[in-house]
Chains A and B, each alone.
Chain A
Amino acid sequence: MNVIETKDITYSYPDGTLALKDVEFNAAKGKIIALLGPNGAGKSTLFLHFNGILKPNKGTVRVNGEPLKYDKAGLMKVRQKVGIVFQNPDDQLFAPTVMEDVAFGPMNIGLPDEEVEERVKESLERVGMEGLENKAPHHLSGGQKKRVAIAGILAMRPEIMVLDEPTSGLDPKGASQIMHLLYNLNQEGMTIVISTHDVDLVPLYAYNVYIISEGKIIKEGSPLEVFEDVETIRGANLRLPRIAHLMEILGKEDKLPFDKPYPLTIGEARRRILKEFNDRVR
């Protein structure tokens, strides 16, 4: 079942620039979906349709099968279900302390204070930020800010979490911690949609990949299927994962017996190489 479904949505900015054209995007329940695309392809714009911040000029957005209602009550409801974590945590963290920021969402839902406090505590523990409740955001590092931003969404207990470039600007360890966190949340049943251009990270986690370029979805499928279409990937200003690129070169230039579909992760590549190696030796 798809928790988010967009049907042919088209959106142009007030100045007339066409940002999205007939976009069809489906997120299956309980999966991790990746939206890959170069800068300015419309990733963030698409995400803002998921919780009704932007209203498409044409087409419909469905959440849990119901079309979005753009009245006050409808928006309240959908924003509790679909949580968006923005790319720059400084845009999202506005309160003077970590605690007040994380409490913002649950307070807006109108929960009683005790419940809010419990949720704040729980979400901060979840992202490993307990004990920093009374810190001011400008005393935190980039990775910590990102985690607080995620906690702020978690505290609203959304069914679907949408993250815009969750690993951008983080060091490798910070990035992998965030991805681990997302993976664990997904294991517990949360549907996760991420936008990224980090092609090395996507195949490790994603169930389904969409490629967006100039406001259009140009490719969709499992990571293996999508990265098999090397021309489309490159045409969209993206690249193969490093490991797949290596296998491509080994196959084409050095005539080693590696061909499509290229392995996308270190684990897959290792198996392929070992298999070839063992076959030769035998």
Chain B
Amino acid sequence: MFSNTLDNYAHNNNLNGMNTYFKVLFGIVTMLVSLISTSPVVPLIIALFMSILIVFIAKVSWKFYLKFFLFPFSFGLITFIFMAIFFGVGAHILELGIFNLAVTADGFNLGLLVFARMMGGFTCLAFLALTTPMTELFSVLRLIKIPQIVLEIAMLMYRYIFVFLDEAINMYHTQETRLGYSSLKKSFKSMGMLGSNLFIRTWMKGEQAFIAMESRCYDGSIKTMKKQGSIKTMGTRNLVLLVLFEVVLIMGVYFTGSFRIF
């Protein structure tokens, strides 16, 4: 079960063994570079580079990645189109011929920049999400001093997402076996029952889990081992590589800063 989910790829990919801190730092710093860029060139290069990393190095199935990528891509494209048409003033570069709408150079450049930044930022996040299991991200979050209570809730949520996903899938199948989804009207009804039933189950499961935790001396806070892991485990080589890569990107940002298509 769950063979085609994000979580599964995060746990089984070629970059799994790589140092978590390295991956996190790499993803976040690259994303920041993508965001500060004033021209679309560097973010688009980052998007391409990250996609190559994800598909060819981490060996995440390209079909899955494409589907995953399609959502922000289409969203970005719509943003781009709207900005090109409705934003900016000045010379028209393309008359649409209806309602006096026209694309301005100003709007086009701004739209393209936003689109490029979105793609750059998204691919960096996708890299993190697809190569780093949540379980390891928790230890990073702990290191950067995220409040304990937030972490606890996140941990429990992460675990129970899968428990309830499992239950929901089972319930869905049992409803399907009894033809619960044979028409649109029935589908709505079945889905509603599934939802409400799932809600009641979460309540019951929560109570059960609390009893089980109490049996193991739970006193209101989840204590975790202080893992020896620190940012230092990243290694000098990785650190140098990372710094070099980011410096090259920032130089790229500097030199292409005034690049405009129109």
Q: Give A contacts to B, CB under 8 Å.
A: 48, 51, 53, 72, 76, 79-80, 83-84, 86, 88, 90-97, 100, 103-105, 107-109, 113, 116-117, 134, 136-139, 152-153, 156
Q: Given A93-B159, A96-B134, A96-B135, A108–B217 Cβ distance below 8 Å?
A: yes
Q: Is B56 an interface residue (CB 8 A)?
A: no
A contact residues around B218 at 8 Å (CB): 104, 108
Of B2, B209, B216, the contact of A152 (CB 8 Å cutoff)? B216
B contact residues around A86 at 8 Å (CB): 208, 211-212, 215
Of B11, B155, B216, the contact of A105 (CB 8 Å cutoff)? B216
Chain A proximity of B112: nearest CB distance (Å)? 40
Chain B proximity of A209: nearest CB distance (Å)? 24
A sample of 14 inter-chain contacts (CB < 8 A) reads A53-B211, A79-B217, A86-B211, A86-B215, A91-B211, A92-B212, A96-B135, A100-B155, A104-B216, A108-B216, A113-B226, A137-B159, A138-B166, A152-B216
- B140-176 contact mask (Cβ, 8 Å, vs A): 1 or 0: 0000000000000001101110110010000000000
Q: Is B178 an interface residue (CB 8 A)?
A: no
- B1-32 contact mask (Cβ, 8 Å, vs A): 1 or 0: 01000010001000000000000000000000
| Prevailing SS type, chain A contact patch | helix
What residue in chain A is nearest B213 (Cβ atoms)? A94
What residue in chain B is nearest A80 (Cβ atoms)? B217
What residue in chain B is nearest A44 (Cβ atoms)? B211
In angstroms, Cα B26 to Cα A57, docked, is: 60
B contact residues around A100 at 8 Å (CB): 155, 224-225
What residue in chain A is nearest B207 (Cβ atoms)? A91
**CB–CB B215/A84 < 8 A:** yes
A contact residues around B224 at 8 Å (CB): 100, 103, 107
In angstroms, Cα B214 to Cα A83, docked, is: 11
Q: Given A83-B215, A136-B133, A88–B159 Cβ distance below 8 Å?
A: no
Inter-chain pairs besides A108-B216, A138-B163, A138-B166, 6 sampled, C-beta below 8 Å = A105-B216, A105-B217, A108-B223, A136-B134, A138-B2, A152-B216
7 closest residue pairs by CB, A with B: A138-B162, A108-B217, A105-B216, A107-B223, A91-B208, A92-B212, A96-B135
State the interface size on chain B (CB cutoff 8 A). 32
Q: Given A96-B135, A137-B159, A138-B2, A51–B215 Cβ distance below 8 Å?
A: yes
Most chain A C-beta atoms within 10 Å of own C-beta, residue among B7, B158, B212, B216: B216
What residue in chain B is nearest A47 (Cβ atoms)? B215
Chain B proximity of A281: nearest CB distance (Å)? 57
**CB–CB A136/B223 < 8 A:** no
What residue in chain B is nearest A149 (Cβ atoms)? B212
Q: Give B contacts to A, CB under 8 Å.
A: 2, 7, 11, 133-135, 138, 155-156, 158-160, 162-163, 166, 205, 208-209, 211-219, 222-226
What residue in chain B is nearest A48 (Cβ atoms)? B211
Chain A proximity of B10: nearest CB distance (Å)? 10
**CB–CB B159/A95 < 8 A:** yes
In angstroms, Cα B211 to Cα A86, docked, is: 10
Chain B proximity of A279: nearest CB distance (Å)? 53
In angstroms, Cα B221 to Cα A29, docked, is: 33
A contact residues around B155 at 8 Å (CB): 94-96, 100
**CB–CB B163/A136 < 8 A:** no
In angstroms, Cα B224 to Cα A103, docked, is: 8
What residue in chain A is nearest B138 (Cβ atoms)? A96
In angstroms, Cα B224 to Cα A116, docked, is: 10
A contact residues around B133 at 8 Å (CB): 136
What residue in chain A is nearest B214 (Cβ atoms)? A53
In angstroms, Cα B227 to Cα A134, docked, is: 13
**CB–CB B225/A117 < 8 A:** yes
**CB–CB A104/B2 < 8 A:** no
Chain A proximity of B245: nearest CB distance (Å)? 28
Chain B proximity of A173: nearest CB distance (Å)? 21
**CB–CB A134/B217 < 8 A:** no
What residue in chain B is nearest A155 (Cβ atoms)? B216
**CB–CB A91/B217 < 8 A:** no
Most chain B C-beta atoms within 10 Å of own C-beta, residue among A79, A80, A96, A152: A96
**CB–CB A79/B158 < 8 A:** no
What residue in chain B is nearest A77 (Cβ atoms)? B217
**CB–CB B217/A76 < 8 A:** yes
